[in-house]
Structure 1
Amino acid sequence: MTCAVLRHAGILPRSGSMRVPEVDLVRAVALCMMIVYHFLFAIRFLDMADVEVLIGFWRVFAYATASLFVAIAGVSLTLAATGLRRRGESERRVAAAQLRRGLTIFAWGLVITLVTSLALEQGAILFGILHLIGLGTILAIPLVDRPRASLVIGTLCLFLGPLAARYTGPLWLVWLGFHPSDFVSLDYVPLLPWFGVLLIGVTTGWALFPNGMPRRQLRPFPGWAAPLLWLGRHTLLIYLIHAPVILAFLLAWKSIA
């Protein structure tokens, strides 16, 4: 997908669009955390090192990474909606832009589902983080301007998540949080509880950036932060390519080691 198409989908900024560098920086940190975890996961997956990535510290690290990634997506929804309104866009256009953004991200999630289904004997990604952010973006359309309702519904989702995890269900409910007992996936981020994290991000966005602007004017970021800000502005592109790059690097290293 070209950068022009990504801008049309609302995933990359249009030329001259307002950016909030604090959000880009946090998004970049979340992306770096995800790359670190996926690198270690790939090392373990390829039996190159005995790294316990599914228990202990690294399990907590993975949950913290996903939580930050999803929450910042919620913050971005409030900023995007506010930015469109400041440019004089109608409510219908604001909702249409959010719908287009959600559908595009969800479509990329389906691409990952197809690739992992063809490449893996088990563990295909049926509903991972891109599926969650894409569908969550669509479901949040009526809530993006209602921070209190977002907080209440988001908190409810967080409480319902552990309850849903206690029960099994058919595979077609995997998106909601129910799945067969033998279900295995390399990345699983269902609506319960993770839609709650996104909605709390929406509430956080309104709390930190009323009218799309920070409550406090921070000092300009130093020069060393420029690479991180760049990462934060190109998160989806880097997310899509980082796993193949990691696998290619490790397989090449393994072949010559």
Structure 2
Amino acid sequence: MHRAPSLLTDPFATSQRSPRYEGVDALRGLAMVWMTIFHFCFDLSHLGFWPQNFRADPFWTSQRTVIVSLFLFCAGLGQAIALHQGQGWLRFGRRWLQIAGCALLVSAGSFVMFPQSFIHFGVLHGMAVMLLVARCTAGWGRWLWLAGLVALALPSVAHLLLSGPSVEAAPWFNGRAFNWLGLVSRKPFTEDYVPVFPWLGVLWWGLASGQWAMARGRQHWLPWKLPGGLRPLATLGQWSLSYYMLHQPVMIGVLMVVAWMSRGVQG
């Protein structure tokens, strides 16, 4: 029986009418698990249980980089698969609206908790913009590899330029109206920041990798059947947007109750 699409299914995955690619789902699920551990540690720090410097300590900043890279690479792979399976603009638009709507909810929720550093362009905001760009540039073929390299290098080049003779342009790029591009001389003070550059380069490389696999007849590694022990990761990857939106409120709520009870016991 045909199953109607759900608003809670993963917007970065392929059509439900098409076979699942468990390897891609599991990679996305791995990113979700890693992200959960990272956010749990952040919440412990935020509530005073385990003070850590998540903004500057390389141990934490490097993990964030890898987690976001996994998300965006999988999003690029997902777009390659969806296009290969004939996903049209209507279905893409429905998925895109889910991401954009959730991005607005993230901004609203973070403003309540962190009014001075709320999320105005985090990972979902970045994905909404980058998926549109990826969809419109999917026909670039092998040029996506070069485009990805340019996107990755562009912020460093801009930083060098804006620290020299063109330094007067830095405030223009650093302002909230344009810092979503990523061509900043200083990072904005926000709880999550995933600008278009350099991160579009990772998504482009994911798209290029998927297209390369499809074109070369090597797509067999994409739908690779997982061992039973890894299938929960694939299931989690299929519901990544729903999980992403729910995991932090649940963890913060539980930890706030624990903190309140601890203060009551100590009092």
TM-score band w.r.t. shorter chain: 0.7 to 0.9
Gaps of 5+ in 1: 86-93
Shift of the 37–217 alpha-carbon distance from structure 1 to 2, 3 Å rule, reads closer
1:83 correspondence with 2:85: yes
Distance 1:4 1:95 in 2: 17
Name which of 233, 241, 252 aligns with 1:228. 233
Distance 1:173 1:180 in 2: 12
Shift of the 141–13 alpha-carbon distance from structure 1 to 2, 3 Å rule, reads closer
1:143 correspondence with 2:115: no
Residue identity (%): 26
After superposition, what is the alpha-carbon deviation per residue over 1:124-158, rounded to whole angstroms, capped at 9, x for unaligned?
10000001111111111222233312212111110
Name which of 112, 120, 126 aligns with 1:118. 112
The CA deviation at 1:121 is 2.5
Q: Read off the aligned partner of 2:46 and give its amino acid letter.
A: F
Partner residue in 2 for 1:194: 199
Gaps of 5+ in 2: 163-169, 263-267
Distance 1:216 1:13 in 2: 16
For structure 1, which segment, 143-152 or 16-25, has the greater mean C-alpha deviation from structure 2 after superposition? 143-152
Distance 1:216 1:140 in 2: 22
After superposition, what is the alpha-carbon deviation per residue over 1:17-40, rounded to whole angstroms, capped at 9, x for unaligned?
311111001000011111111111
For structure 1, which segment, 232-241 or 139-148, has the greater mean C-alpha deviation from structure 2 after superposition? 139-148
What is the root-mean-square deviation in Å for CA atoms of aligned residues? 2.7
The CA deviation at 1:252 is 1.4
Partner residue in 2 for 1:58: 60
For structure 1, which segment, 114-123 or 59-68, has the greater mean C-alpha deviation from structure 2 after superposition? 114-123
State the 4+ residue runs in structure 1 displaced beyond 6 angstroms: none
Distance 2:112 2:90 in 1: 33
Shift of the 42–239 alpha-carbon distance from structure 1 to 2, 3 Å rule, reads same
Contact 2:11 2:99 in 1 (8 A): no
Distance 2:80 2:109 in 1: 32
The 5-angstrom pairing of residues 19-98 of structure 1 reads: 19-54=20-55, 55-84=57-86, 94-98=88-92
State TM-score, norm by structure 1.
0.85
For structure 1, which segment, 11-20 or 124-133, has the greater mean C-alpha deviation from structure 2 after superposition? 11-20
Higher relative contact order, structure no. (Cα contacts within 8 Å, ≥ 6 residues apart): 2
After superposition, what is the alpha-carbon deviation per residue over 1:97-127, rounded to whole angstroms, capped at 9, x for unaligned?
3344333312211221122223323111000
